[in-house]
């Protein structure tokens, strides 16, 4: 494992550090927006006074704090970087492979080096055909065993959101809205599902995380909705969803390919509008994660 000098120094000095994942860069967003979004997320974290730690695996080395150049290498299509969930990281290391980490893979690494906050776009969850496919993202089980706070705009709207919320409940993951009691719907600000808890400030979110971890080994999902002005039009969203499911069914995709295929069809169907929304929300999540990490670092002795 290689921890960049900047991240190592920040951790040593007890400064706030925010982990950022790379699956969204390599498998979630189209080029060249992907690299641009990754660096804007890093800028957002820095503006909050924290240090970003973008995580991925290059040639079997887990890198915490990828440089822009390393990120560009990881995102090169010909490299065919694998999508690494928590179970895959060790395998990729042992076999000397390249891979981008999902939320599950990222928190496994981040927690190990002492980072406690991460940001993403939308958490993975229970897929709509899960009663047949058993497809439930390992992001949920990873959060059920890792004491991390993840800032996300809810879970991706391609999922069964109600079922995902039930699983988060069963798994003991705390779900807290940021300035809302409505669970966000990723491309849409409101999924239509209510949540029990909300906080109004990053300091409150940090206090929730610090208290939660006294009583539970699980994580916290801080649900930050995309601004209503920035969300995808409701009707366009419904049409894009239908088209995405249609394409996935025709291609017969399963497993880790499902989410990237659905997101890519969203981008095609909406002529890039979904990419713009995804970009806006993940940058906002990185900023909020920075504010929370800052507050966490200031509340620790």
> Among 37-45, 100-108, 187-195, 198-206, which window interacts with ligand PSU (CB under 6 A)?
100-108
Given a contact cutoff of 8 angstroms between Cβ atoms, the answer to whether 119 and 288 are in contact is yes
- Report the site for ligand PSU in 38-57 (rule: CB under 6 A): none
Q: What is the DSSP string of 78-117?
A: GG--EEE-HHHHHHHHHTT--EEE-HHHHHHHHHHHT--E
Contact 74, 105 (CB under 8 A): no
Residue 268's φ and ψ, nearest 5 degrees, are -65, -50
Pairing assessment for the beta strands 149-152 and 220-223 based on DSSP bridges: parallel
Closer to ligand PSU by Cβ: residue 120 or 180? 120
Q: Is position 121 an interface residue for ligand PSU (rule: CB under 6 A)? A: yes
**Residue 278: contacted member of ligand PSU, Mn ion, none (CB under 5 to 8 Å, by partner type):** ligand PSU
The helix/strand/coil state of 219 is coil
Q: How far is the CB of 15 from ligand PSU (least distance, A)?
A: 25
Q: Which of 4, 34, 116, 120 binds ligand PSU (CB under 6 A)?
A: 120
Q: Which does 294 bind (CB under 5 to 8 A by kind): ligand PSU, Mn ion, none?
A: none
Q: How far apart are CA 101 and CA 109, in angstroms?
A: 9
Q: From the list 70, 116, 278, 297, which residue makes contact with ligand PSU (rule: CB under 6 A)? A: 278
3-state class (DSSP) for residue 221: strand
Tracing tokens 């719907």 back to the chain, one arrives at 185
Alpha carbons 239 and 291: distance in angstroms, whole number = 36
47 in active site: no
Annotation marks residue 229 as catalytic: no
| Residue 102 near ligand PSU by CB under 6 A | yes
Q: From the CB of 103, what's the least distance to ligand PSU, in Å?
A: 3
**C-alpha 285: how far from its chain's center?**
9
- Cβ distance to ligand PSU smaller for residue 50 or 277: 277
Helix or strand or coil: residue 104? helix
- As given in the structure block, the two tokens for residue 108 are 């496994």
Q: How many CB atoms lie within 10 A of CB 259?
A: 24
Question: Using CB under 6 A, which of 23, 54, 157, 270 touches ligand PSU?
Answer: 23
Calpha distance 157→61 (Å, rounded): 33
Residue from 98, 139, 160, 280 in contact with ligand PSU (CB under 6 A): 139
Determine the distance from the C-alpha atom of residue 179 to the mean position of all C-alpha atoms in its chain, rounded to a whole number: 19
| Candidate ranges 97-105, 162-170, 191-199, 209-217; the one touching ligand PSU (CB under 6 A) | 97-105
- Give least dist CB 300 to ligand PSU, A: 27
Of 3, 50, 63, 103, which one interacts with ligand PSU (CB under 6 A)?
Answer: 103
Direct distance between the N- and C-terminal alpha carbons of the chain, in angstroms, rounded to an integer: 28
Write out the residues near Mn ion by the rule CB under 5 A. 135
- Set 42, 83, 156, 256: catalytic member: 156
CA-CA distance, 270 to 236, in Å (whole number)?
A: 7
- Please choose which of Mn ion, ligand PSU, none residue 24 contacts, taking the beta carbon within 5 to 8 angstroms, the exact cut-off set by kind: ligand PSU
CA 218 from chain center: how many Å?
A: 16
* From 21-29, 110-118, 176-184, 224-232, span contacting ligand PSU (CB under 6 A): 21-29
Give the footprint of ligand PSU on this chain (CB under 6 A): 21, 23-24, 27-28, 102-104, 120-122, 124, 137, 139, 256, 259, 263, 278, 282
Active site residues: 21, 156
């Amino acid at each position: 494992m290689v921890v960049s000098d900047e991240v190592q120094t920040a951790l040593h000095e007890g400064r706030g550090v925010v982990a950022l994942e790379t699956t969204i860069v390599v498998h979630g967003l189209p080029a060249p927006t992907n690299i641009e979004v990754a660096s804007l997320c890093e800028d957002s974290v820095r503006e909050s006074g924290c240090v970003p730690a973008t995580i991925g695996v290059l040639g079997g080395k887990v890198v915490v704090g990828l440089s822009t150049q390393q990120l560009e290498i990881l995102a090169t299509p010909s490299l065919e970087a694998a999508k690494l969930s928590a179970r895959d990281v060790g395998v990729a290391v042992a076999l000397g492979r390249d891979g981008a980490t999902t939320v599950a893979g990222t928190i496994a690494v981040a927690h190990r080096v002492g980072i406690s906050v991460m940001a993403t776009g939308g958490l993975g969850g229970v897929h709509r055909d899960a009663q047949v496919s058993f497809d439930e993202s390992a992001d949920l089980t990873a959060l059920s065993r890792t004491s991390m706070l993840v800032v996300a705009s809810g879970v991706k709207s391609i999922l069964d959101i109600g079922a995902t919320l039930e699983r988060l409940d069963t798994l003991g993951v705390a779900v807290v809205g940021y300035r809302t009691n409505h669970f966000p719907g990723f491309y849409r600000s409101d999924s239509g599902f209510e949540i029990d808890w909300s906080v109004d400030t990053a300091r409150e979110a940090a206090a929730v995380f610090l208290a939660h971890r006294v009583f539970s080994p699980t994580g916290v999902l801080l649900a930050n909705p995309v601004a209503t002005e920035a969300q995808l039009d409701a009707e366009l969203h419904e049409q894009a969803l239908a088209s995405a499911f249609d394409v996935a069914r025709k291609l017969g995709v399963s497993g880790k390919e499902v989410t990237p295929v659905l997101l890519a069809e969203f981008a095609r169907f909406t002529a890039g509008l979904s990419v713009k929304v995804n970009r806006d929300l993940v940058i906002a999540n990185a900023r909020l994660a920075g504010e929370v990490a800052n507050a966490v670092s200031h509340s620790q002795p």
